[in-house]
Chains A and B, each alone.
Chain A
């Protein structure tokens, strides 16, 4: 049984998180395009932890409900939190540079997305992609 969490402390941990995500996605039967989307979303979340929170954790799990199977990415950190959630979810806002990057990008790559942030506790992001 593979460890389903990766601690993000330095940039190379992003690769480990991607690898974990790719393995799980492959096992579930996601095609190459969706695998690329899932790993890109993981990169984005892990990079956010690395850049803004200093450290945190990416957890990847298989999920299942009555009708479908999917993958969930959970990003957790105890960083400074995000004061204006609406703003970071806005297109064209990304500070980490580049078009299309940032949390709106993750939201678009995945099927479900939720975010909670508290300046004292940090940020928790959960995002799901369902197998079609």
Chain B
């Protein structure tokens, strides 16, 4: 059986009906005056899962995280953590810790005392605190900076202190609010993998809020794509990318070409969709809509081939166009191909070899084509 992309490891408690969720968000709504930030949202998160809430700013992802931390109370609905309702439990009595977007380090304390703060609140003996702080400093490789104050650290170091502080109490769940947002690109990419390793090593449940889809795709076991206070799709990164459940998700994650049309034939597992201008599409789909129904086909640019000669199956899943724009990105090249009816299709190809004979250039007449399982038929 074909599977969608590669999954990091065989970790999929969400697919097992016997496993119980660790965090259950049940029909939670949060209103601020007239504004509904989170709208009747339900979610299950499992132990040791790296779960990402992904969405544009204002989609309610941060509000949801703040409700998990206890800074906001749901207007209705409830959140259950490890079998216990969190309703009415203040932030300082919840077994979760949060890493803040601004890091929120205490400016008047050293790195050491910042990390020790939470342990002190629990009344841990001094010797144990010192030992734990030492472990945390080692974990984030900041042993040499123990006596420094936050303003004496670089952005990357501050991020590590914030991480160490939020992990020091060994919370059951770590909430991360845009944890890498303030780092530059290179450091961000390195830190993504470090966070993943750390989560594996400590066996914790991570819930991360991010607006950066690449970050979510890299780190998370599952992603919840959010929009206007609702979850649009919860799935693994590969499923989100290859099998988006809606036009919104297809469009939000990565680049996509969407062809609208009407269903003209339904035959065992395939749909024939007429998109106009003599460009019919035959695409695999488990659904069986009636003939004449509206349908849209979403195809990722890297799954579209560009060629000078029409493929054998033309005009099915193939159409002629003109190269309108070429973007050379180093690892790949992006083509914008303009069809006769004015639609622009994005196609990309990997630059697997260093030099190409006779590359495609501007204004050339080309054919674009794709396979019968290259895309997804969207319902809406």
Tell me if chain B binds chain A. no
**A positions within 8 Å CB-CB of B:** none
**B positions within 8 Å CB-CB of A:** none
